[in-house]
Amino acid sequence: MAELRSIDQQIREMRSKTTPPREIWLDIDDTVITLHGSQEGGAIGYNPRYHGRPSLKAKVAFIAETAEMLNLKAYNGKIHSNGGFLNFFQDTEQRLPRNYVLKGVRLDKGFFDEKNFDYFEERTYLYVCKVPLRGGLQKVIAYLNRENLWQRIDEVYSVAELTIPLPNWAKARRFVFIRQDLEAVTGQLYIQHPDFYKYQAIVTNIPAEDMPAEEVWRFYNQRGTCELWIDELKDGFAVEEASQHTFLRNEAYMLVKAIAYNLLLWFKEVTLPETIKSYQAETIRRGTYGDVRIVFKINICQICWPPR
């Protein structure tokens, strides 16, 4: 496995030499790999689609600006999203090409943890993380409503922000709150009622003067593409097909497929016309682009070893 990760790193380093130095953001998420057998490491945990089936989990880190997969690791199916996160993140840091500078990270609410934020702040990374709306924050939202501290963005959304500490936190942090107006039930008189709103919250260390509250929300929403990239790993490269019995073999197969994902991504960037660069692997493989498969074999080396 170490040799395979070394190959992945070498390919990425060679590819990075074809681009100028850059600052990047990371989008990190995890996904469920449902098992249909008794594979090693399988456990019954959170599974939104196949309730009660054993599964593995995979944490994945992407470069937000390019959609490149930077790191992928498999875990047993019971582990929480935040389980082992800092070890995963530190390993991801080591996999950054030398001419890439990490500016910040965007995270789903499963990674909401002060220990993570402390680490980012120590390393001077920016972060934008979705917040689970637990009891303490529900009280904050009630306060925002009571004091009418919302600023209207458009006909549907309003935004507010506070710098507050949560219980057991060592310091206050900046929270951005979003309120979405919901339509009243058909046939009922509409009144402003808590049930007619949907709320979101985001925590960040980006200063307000650098990114106003509305922009923080919109910037976080761009992270939604990360889920599309995970879908591409699954649908286009069969990352979720964990057919091997041992955990190590399944993780190795996942990584091989993730490397193939990057190779195709770079191939599309340097070879395909603009009109089909956004096409997914399945479309290229099964569409009317048979010549692409031939070109891919010829040009794949040029992605990592371009002509001088």
Number of other CB atoms surrounding residue 77 within 10 Å: 22
Q: Are 126 and 104 in contact (CB under 8 A)?
A: yes
How far, in Å, CA of 77 to CA of 204, rounded? Answer: 29
| SS3 at position 103 | strand
Token pair of 150 as six digits: 């919302």
At position 287, the amino acid (one-letter code) is: G
Taking the model in full, what pTM does it have? Answer: 0.86
pLDDT in tens, 194-246: 568 999 999 999 999 999 999 999 999 999 889 999 999 998 888 888 888 89
Query: Above 80 in pLDDT, residue 61?
Result: yes
pLDDT in tens, 3-60: 888 888 899 888 888 888 999 999 999 999 888 888 888 888 777 777 878 888 999 9
Q: Are 213 and 202 in contact (CB under 8 A)?
A: no
Q: Are 201 and 138 in contact (CB under 8 A)?
A: no
pLDDT computed for residue 298 by the predictor: 39
CATH code at 2-128+215-302: 3.30.420.10
Rounded to an integer, the average pLDDT of 72-77 is: 92
Query: Above 60 in pLDDT, residue 115?
Result: yes
pLDDT in tens, 154-165: 999 999 999 999
Task: Give the phi and the psi of residue 214 in degrees, each rounded to 5.
Answer: -60, -40
pLDDT computed for residue 301 by the predictor: 45
Which range has highest mean pLDDT (28-42, 139-153, 191-205, 286-300)?
139-153
How far, in Å, CA of 26 to CA of 16, rounded? Answer: 16
Residue located via tokens 């041992």: 246
Token pair of 301 as six digits: 């080396």
Q: Are 128 and 220 in contact (CB under 8 A)?
A: yes
